[in-house]
Amino acid sequence: MQRTQRPLAVRLARVNPTTVFLATLGLVLVGLLVPGVVGGALLLALAVGLVALLRLTWPVQTPATRVIRLLMLTLLVTVALVKLL
């Protein structure tokens, strides 16, 4: 491993993308279907994880990809906050 690589980024690069997609889709569906505070909290927990991933991958993303990811994250947080209220 080179000094410039981060151990977390290396581990994330080894994860199967299909597995991550299906797990995230499952978490979103559970968060949307579970009523009230529990569903909103699940969606906010997912948003926190996505913010961490966004910070990690920000330098290598194109500006268009950054905008799309920020819009999707904003939509997720908005839905989570609506469920909490």
What value does the mean pLDDT take over residues 60-76?
93
**Domain ranges (residues) in the chain:** 7-84
Question: Tell me: the pLDDT tens digits for 12-48?
Answer: 788 888 998 999 999 999 999 998 899 999 999 999 9
Tokens 């581990």 appear where? Answer: 11
Question: Using the 8-state DSSP alphabet, how is residue 14 labeled?
Answer: T
CA dihedral 39, 42, 44, 47 (to 10 degrees): -130
Residue 55: C-alpha distances to residues 29, 50, 69 (Å): 24, 9, 11
Single pTM value for the model: 0.78
- Is the Cα dihedral 35, 36, 38, 41 positive or negative? positive
